[in-house]
Amino acid sequence: MPYATGPREHRIHFRELGSRANPTLVLIQGLILDGRFWFDLPERLAADPETPWHVLVPDNRGVGRSDMPTRPWTMGDMADDVAAMLDAVGVRKAVVAGLSMGGMIAQQVALRHAERVTGLVLMATWPGLPHAKLPNLRTIGGLVGSSMMGGGDVESVARLILPDSELANAGELLSDWFRLMREQPPSRRTFLGQFGAIGTHSTGRRLEHITVPVQVVTGDEDRLVPARNSEILAAKIPRARLEVLPGVAHAIPLMDRRVVHRNAALLRG
């Protein structure tokens, strides 16, 4: 079980798949989710017959096997954790892909460690206030309620991350999600720590300094992080390209199993 040591001797657990001879792709998950919630995607990327990757999958602070900090932390701290992971495996540069909060971490990696990044895939994410568009109050309440209850129930989670057309299929689509939640429920402390980092995340005025190619992806039915946020990111990042997926909500990789393959391939060095 490999670990990297980040700021303040903080240990970050990560998985490594594929050959180090291939380009490296980092996959960063969202709020209260550890690396297991990429499901079989890391294996599929590492074994892709056309564009195989060297894949690194960290557990963010407070989830999985990574340490829980004793004091509040920032999105920048989590970006530094990613850089420490790259150091631990001797990787100089990588494509960084992040979903939701993971996309916020990815932005910070590109801003704080620009020399380590060859491209970004930013899925269902935002630049933070004051430039972002917030979800409605009902959605925020659903997010807090589900997260504080260790994952929530199927219906409440489905309304956060699935499009209307798939709500009837939520039990099947989210069965693996809830299985992992039951195996290792997130703590209230984890939610508060990560949510606090989200609240202080603000990159809008600095996005023009991201000079690598960036693929921004959103679903046009995303209630949790409205699609307008991806439009803002794409407009503010000089070399960004926007992809809007019709009939898709927040759980982009669940609805489009090739989304990371497709967008990361465009950034491959």
Tens of pLDDT, residue by residue over 147-187, are 645 556 888 889 999 999 999 999 999 999 999 998 988 88
Whether residue 1 is predicted with pLDDT greater than 70 in this model: the reply is: no
Arithmetic mean of pLDDT, 250-256: 97
Closest listed residue to residue 198, CA positions, set 14, 52, 45, 61: 61
Q: Is residue 190 part of a domain?
A: no
Q: Is residue 142 scored above 80 in pLDDT?
A: no
Output DSSP code: residue 73: -
pLDDT above 70 coverage of the chain, percent: 96
CATH number at residue 104: 3.40.50.1820
Please check whether residue 182 lies inside any domain of the structure. no
Residue 77 counted as domain residue: yes
Tell me the residue range of the domain where 207 lies: 3-133+197-265
User: How many domains is the chain built from?
Assistant: 1
pLDDT per position as a tens digit, 96-119:
999 999 999 999 999 999 999 999
Please indicate, yes or no, if residue 176 is contained in any of the structural domains.
no
Is the pLDDT confidence value at 56 over 60?
yes
Tell me whether residue 175 is in a domain.
no
Using alpha carbons, select from 142, 56, 51 the residue that is nearest to residue 97: 56
**65-89: buried (b, 16+ CB within 10 Å) or exposed (e) per residue?**
ebbebeeebebbbbbbbbbbbbebe
Residue 146 domain-assigned? no
Is 42 part of any domain?
yes
Task: Of 16-20, 176-180, 218-222, give the lowest mean pLDDT range.
Answer: 176-180
Q: Is residue 165 part of a domain?
A: no
Q: How confident is the model at residue 146, as a pLDDT? A: 65
How much is the mean pLDDT over the chain? 94
Predicted TM-score of the model (pTM): 0.96
> What is the per-residue pLDDT for 145?
67
